[in-house]
Structure 1
């Protein structure tokens, strides 16, 4: 199976993984496309977050494939040219942003899917 479906949750600046571990997000944690490239290539864990369903935890191979698919529909909130009009939606009308979650020196890449 290429991906794992999870019923974890995000509340404010915290994300809970399946092991009950809490990941923290800090102000300014939006990632650029180059940063996501680097983190995915380095094998950091990736979770796809959507308001429509559960988080999807991706294997390293699935993360590379998902990132290749969504990279052209990526925006960095707050960056020049990265606002709501900064990305072209995919076939489902979605755009994506990258969020850095941290826990004990580790980085979790969150790909935030939105309309």
Structure 2
């Protein structure tokens, strides 16, 4: 990942644009319909998830997810102290869901 670009395992470039933050409801829909998912954090390498793994992981972190600037008190951290934000990456009409884990 570099700035507004992300390279997948196959070397394809995905791009992020303004307004690319996703609500939990939007992530719900994208994960359920089988869009690819990548978990990004500052603690280690990106993790690319298969659709079944993405559904399972999303069900565990959903309550800890809020888009930046959403207002309110923000997300409640999980047991490891992480909160998550959904972000969309796009390439040729396709959407890649990024789950950005932060402290």
- Asked whether the two chains share a fold, i.e. TM above 0.5, the reply is yes
State the 1:80 CA deviation: 2.9
Give the CA RMSD over aligned residues: 0.7
| 1:40 counterpart = 2:31 | yes
Residue 80 of structure 2 corresponds to: 92
Residue 71 of structure 1 corresponds to: 62
| 1:51 counterpart = 2:42 | yes
Gaps of 5+ in 2: none
TM-score by length of 1: 0.87
Gaps of 5+ in 1: 1-9
SS of alignment partner, residue 85 of structure 2: strand
- Please identify runs of 4+ aligned residues in structure 1 that moved more than 3 A: none
Distance 2:23 2:43 in 1: 24
TM-score by length of 2: 0.97
